[in-house]
Structure formats: structure tokens, C-alpha cells
């Protein structure tokens, strides 16, 4: 018997079904990740590294995250779950995002022509880095990367990987993107990558303005988020991800706000961005349709301010 349609069944029917490993740059990105294998360790022994990675994955910690009631929190913020697949050479860690970090960047490089293969000399802000797959990859492409992560144990994980592999171009900030408002974040980045985060946020408009402010004039925000086709903005704040995907292993906790391509373009315009190419839905992995967007900060302009949660945001 056919199962009942879920919200994700409303995803763009016209979405391209993409075989990311077939994209031209995928093999190159895959090769770059081989810089982070046990044989490349600089500041750690192979044995200690394996033990530490194994130990991280047994972390069950809610108090450290500051949660009063862990039962209402997202499980992957209470327990440690590895984010991106990582072949460390001696052993492989399967991440919940699989090889998403490589396939998603491949879309921005090959499909959308929004990201050069060499990021030499560029400063990149990587929002919601989880266990660091995108941050390490962007650094291997030549960028200086500031990785931001609100879950403390993941920020610690990426800090450890940076140290172990002496990845000097990566720095990690254990904080929410909503706190990226201090002077060192302003007008500072050539690229902001916000992948897999926007649909989890309580206040996406404020978040997009903060990211806009982090960019230099001429800088680019690369956005990737879960999408829907119908309605304007489907607001499921604090509802279970099971409503999005009955097969989801997660039980509770994430905010979930799904965007249509038009709604995302409107929001980006409202906060000051210029969107040159339409937000593009791509069937990234079943059953998620992912919306890709490339938004430019041409110059620092004012934003639409009616109803803002933080009135004095720059
Ligand atoms: C689904 S993962 C995406 C990981 C990675 N960016 C990618 O696309 O492969 C979302 C990550 O964003 C983090 N996150 C969610 N809200 C955040 C916020 N307000 N500030 C910083 N990180 C956040 C989560 O803890 C999680 O690690």
C-alpha cells in the first residue's frame, strides 16, 4: 500500500536528479579530502587519534550544551553524531550527511559556476560546520576558513581535527551564527557558505541579514536548504522532523521552516542581496529536494525592517 504523502512529497517535481559523483570536479574534491588521513597527522599519534575519534562518538552530553531538558532537544545536539563521511585511511567514519560536503560543493562549482576550484587568498565563513567536512575541504581548496558551530561538542571536534592535521587555515568559533555580529565578522568574508542550516533556524530573515553583514562588498553567499514547491513559507517551528520525513531517525527538536524558491529569493532581496540566477532546486538525495541559491552583496544597503526581531541589527 502506498504510504501517505509527506510534506517532502511537495518538493519541486522539476528538480534535477543529480548524480553528483559524475560532476567534473567531484573526483578532485574527493582527492583533496585525502589530505586528512591518519598518515597526514602532524600533532597526534595514529593510536591517540583513532581513540579520540572513537571516544567522541560515544559522547552523550546535554549539560555541556546548556540544555535544561535534553528530551526536547535535537538528538544530534545531545548525543554526538558524526556529520560527514570521512575516510581517514586506517578507518572510515560514516557520517549522517554522507558525502554531501563534496557533492554539494560540486554543485556550486560545476552546476552554478558560483565557486572557483581554487580559493587561494579568499576568506570563507562556513556556517554550521558540524564535524567539519566542508571546512576542511574549503581549506584544502586554498581558503582561509572560519567555521561556526552552535553545538559545542562539534566545534570541539573540528578544533581537534584542525590541530591534529595542523590545518592552519581553519579556525573554529563555538557559537551561533546569530552571534556573528561583532566587529571581526563585519565586511570580512569573500564567501559565506550556509549549507543545511537555514531550514533549521528560528529566524531566517535575521540570519540572512547577519550573513549579508559578514560579507565584503562584492562577496557571495552560497545557500543550500531543504525546499518545497507549494505554499509560501511552510512554518513548522518546533514540530518533529518526522512530519517532514517519517523515515527520519531523529525524533524531535529541530526547527523546520521550508522555503519555496520564490520565498527564498524574496527574503534574500529583503535583506539586501542581489540574486542573479533563480534559486535552483536539485534533488540531492531522496527524499530531500535541496534549494541552491547564490546571493551577491553588491554593496552595503539597508534592509526591509518592518517586524524585525532585533531592531538595531546593522
Ligand atoms: C544539517 S547540518 C549541516 C552541516 C554542513 N553545513 C553541511 O551542509 O554539510 C546543520 C549544522 O548546523 C548547526 N547549526 C544549526 N543552527 C545553527 C546556528 N544558529 N548557528 C551555528 N550553527 C548552527 C547544527 O548544529 C549542525 O551542525
Q: Where are the alpha helices (DSSP H) in the chain?
A: 26-33, 46-56, 75-78, 100-106, 133-140, 152-164, 204-214, 261-270
List the residue whose alpha carbon is closest to atom 20 of ligand 1. 176
What pLDDT band is residue 6 in, cutting at 50, 70 and 90?
very low
All three cell numbers of 257:
521552516
Helix (H) or strand (E) holding 223: strand 215-226
Nearest Cα residue to 39 out of 95, 99, 91, 93: 91
**Pocket-testing residue among 197, 244, 253, ligand 1, by greatest number of atoms within 8 A of Cβ:** 197
Q: How far is the CA of 176 from the centre of ligand 1 (A)?
A: 9
The answer to whether the CB of 150 is under 6 A from ligand 1 is: yes
**Pocket-testing residue among 101, 130, 157, ligand 1, by greatest number of atoms within 8 A of Cβ:** 130
- For the domain made up of 13-296, the CATH class stated in words is alpha beta
What's the chain's Rg over C-alpha atoms? 19
The answer to whether the CB of 78 is under 6 A from ligand 1 is: no
The pLDDT tens digits of the residues spanning 37-63 come to 999 999 999 999 999 999 999 998 899
Per-domain residue ranges for the chain?
13-296
The pLDDT tens digits of the residues spanning 99-132 come to 989 999 999 999 999 999 999 999 999 999 999 9
Q: What is the reported pTM?
A: 0.90
Residue 281 has pLDDT above 60, yes or no: yes
The pLDDT tens digits of the residues spanning 137-188 come to 999 999 999 999 999 999 999 999 999 999 999 999 999 999 999 999 999 9
Residue 45: count of CB within 10 angstroms of its CB: 11
Amino acid at each position: 500500500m502506498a504510504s501517505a504523502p509527506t510534506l517532502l512529497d511537495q518538493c519541486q517535481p522539476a528538480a534535477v536528479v543529480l548524480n553528483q559523483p559524475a560532476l567534473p570536479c567531484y573526483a578532485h574534491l574527493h582527492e583533496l579530502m585525502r589530505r586528512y588521513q591518519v598518515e597526514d597527522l602532524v600533532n597526534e599519534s595514529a593510536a591517540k587519534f583513532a581513540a579520540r575519534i572513537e571516544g567522541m562518538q560515544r559522547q552523550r552530553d546535554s549539560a555541556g550544551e546548556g540544555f535544561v531538558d535534553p528530551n526536547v532537544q535535537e538528538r544530534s545536539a545531545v548525543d554526538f553524531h558524526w556529520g560527514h563521511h570521512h575516510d581517514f585511511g586506517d578507518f572510515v567514519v560514516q557520517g549522517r550527511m554522507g558525502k554531501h560536503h563534496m557533492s554539494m560543493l560540486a554543485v556550486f562549482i560545476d552546476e552554478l559556476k558560483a565557486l572557483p576550484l581554487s580559493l587561494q587568498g579568499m576568506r570563507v565563513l562556513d556556517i554550521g560546520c558540524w564535524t567539519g567536512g566542508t571546512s576542511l575541504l574549503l581549506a584544502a581548496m586554498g581558503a582561509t576558513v572560519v567555521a561556526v558551530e552552535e553545538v559545542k561538542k562539534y566545534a570541539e571536534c573540528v578544533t581537534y581535527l584542525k590541530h591534529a592535521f595542523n590545518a592552519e587555515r581553519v579556525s573554529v568559533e563555538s557559537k551561533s551564527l546569530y552571534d556573528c555580529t561583532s566587529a571581526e565578522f563585519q565586511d570580512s568574508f569573500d564567501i559565506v557558505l550556509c549549507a543545511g542550516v537555514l531550514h533549521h533556524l528560528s529566524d531566517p530573515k535575521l540570519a540572512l541579514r547577519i550573513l549579508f553583514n559578514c560579507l565584503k562588498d562584492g562577496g557571495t553567499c552560497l545557500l543550500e536548504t531543504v525546499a518545497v514547491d507549494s505554499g509560501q513559507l511552510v512554518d513548522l517551528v518546533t514540530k518533529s522532523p518526522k512530519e517532514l520525513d517519517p523515515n527520519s531517525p531523529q525524533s524531535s527538536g529541530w526547527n523546520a521552516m521550508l522555503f519555496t524558491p520564490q520565498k527564498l529569493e524574496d527574503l534574500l532581496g529583503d535583506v539586501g542581496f542581489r540574486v542573479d540566477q533563480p534559486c535552483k532546486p536539485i534533488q540531492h538525495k531522496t527524499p530531500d529536494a535541496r534549494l541552491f541559491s547564490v546571493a551577491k552583496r553588491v554593496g552595503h544597503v539597508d534592509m526591509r525592517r518592518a517586524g524585525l526581531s532585533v531592531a538595531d541589527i546593522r
